[in-house]
Amino acid sequence: MSRGEVLILVLVLLSFGIGVCLYPFMPEKVAVHWNVKGEVDGYLSKFWGLFLFPLIFAGIVLLFIVIPRIDPLKKNIELFKRYYDGFVLLFSLFFLLVYVQVILWNIGVKVNLTVTLPIGIGLLFLYIGFLCDNCRRNWFIGIRTPWTLSSDRVWEKTHRLGGKLFKASGVIAMLGALIQEYALILILAPVIFTAIYTIIYSYFEYQREVKGVN
């Protein structure tokens, strides 16, 4: 295992350790979900409120670790593995920080999630933009359409565009921390546009390639 993967697993174990240590101090019903106004609208029992997050975290991280090992094009993944590992580490830190904020809220420290979440999600989108810049063709990571997977040229052009759009989406998402009433729109609208536009773009780029148009 790489040092990055070991560090990520340490963060997973840390999340379980936090849950065990703070279990006696948590209320019987743990707030776990907030609406767009920052108001609590979902609760779980103390056990699941503390350990559901680490269990989901562990499952996602294990999937991230397995993907580069089972991809038929894993040699291509090795070419940008450090960027991929960086994304997994950033995602893990984000997930852990969200978990800590949930715990703090339930023990009386009212962290404003409508500020921290847009910033965290925006940073993830920004990093995905850099990941797209360096991503090579594979079956699990990146903008995978029938047309990008069929052509290295279409893959590279689509990801070059996708990198710019994801970076822009990250900046827009972080504006949600300042304009909190529109935070959800600022997070979702740009990334949905990016997904749809890059799919359409890859199709037309592939058609241009088939027709021999430069």
Residue 19 burial (C-beta neighbours within 10 Å; 0-12, 13-18, 19+): buried
Q: Output the pTM of the full model.
A: 0.90
Identify the sign of the CA torsion 46, 49, 11, 34. negative
Burial 167-183 (b: 16+ CB within 10 A, else e): bbbbebbbbbbeebeeb
Mean pLDDT, the chain cut into blocks of 10 residues (214 residues total): 86 94 92 80 90 94 94 94 94 94 89 88 97 96 96 96 97 93 93 97 94 74
For residue 29, give Cα distances in angstroms to 48, 52, 112, 180.
Answer: 9, 13, 20, 27
Q: Which two tokens stand for residue 96?
A: 């852990």
- Residue 25 is given by DSSP the state G
Q: Would you state the pLDDT for residue 214?
A: 62
Exposure of 129 in the CB half-sphere (CA atoms within 13 A): 19
DSSP structure string for 184-205: HHHHHHHHHHHHHHHHHHHHHH
- Contact (CB, 8 A) for 62 and 13: no
Question: CB count, 10 Å around CB of 186?
Answer: 22
